[in-house]
Amino acid sequence: MTEGARVWLIPDGYLPERSQGDQPSHEAICVLNTGVRDATLRITFYFEDRPPLRDVEVVVSAERTRHLRTDEPEQLGGQSLPRGVPYAVRVASDHPVVVQHSRLDTSATALALMTTLAHPVQHDEADAP
C-alpha cells in the first residue's frame, strides 16, 4: 500500500513574532506515513530574499504520524527558522506520505488557527526527491 505523494509544497509559512499565554505561536508540518516502510524526508525552506535552506532530514516511521514543529530547531536537525519572515516549504520523501501544514497564532489575546493540505506534486511534474 502506497498512499500519497513523494513531493509536497507549502507556500504560506510564517512564524509570528509575538506570543501570549503559555503556548508560543508556532507552525507544524504534519506528516502521515500509512506505508509499511519508514520514510526519510528531505525538507527545503524557501525565503523571499535569500537562498533556500536545504536538506533538513527527518524520519517518519512506518504506520506513524509526525507533527514537526518548525519553531523547534531540535526537530529540524538543529536548523533554526527566523520569526516574522515569510517562508515556504518543500517536503520530499523517499516513500509516499501525506503532508498538512498548520499555524497556531497566539499573538493576540486569543489564539487563531489555520490549516491546509500541502500541494502534492504529480509524478510527471517532479524529479526524484
Binding residues for a copy of itself, rule: CB under 8 A, are 1-4, 7, 9-14, 21, 23, 28, 30-32, 34, 44, 46-49, 51-52, 63-67, 86-88, 90, 96, 98-100, 102-121, 125-127
Q: Which is nearer to a copy of itself, 80 or 117 (CB)?
A: 117
Dist. CA 15–CA 86, nearest whole Å? 8
Q: Which is nearer to a copy of itself, 78 or 125 (CB)?
A: 125
89's grid cell: 516549504
Tally the residues of the chain: 129
Q: Which is nearer to a copy of itself, 1 or 74 (CB)?
A: 1
Dist. CA 58–CA 79, nearest whole Å? 12
Q: Minimum distance between the CB of residue 42 and a copy of itself, rounded to whole angstroms?
A: 13
Q: Minimum distance between the CB of residue 116 and a copy of itself, rounded to whole angstroms?
A: 5
Q: What's CA 87's distance to the chain center, in Å?
A: 11
CB-based contact 38:62 (threshold 8 Å) = yes
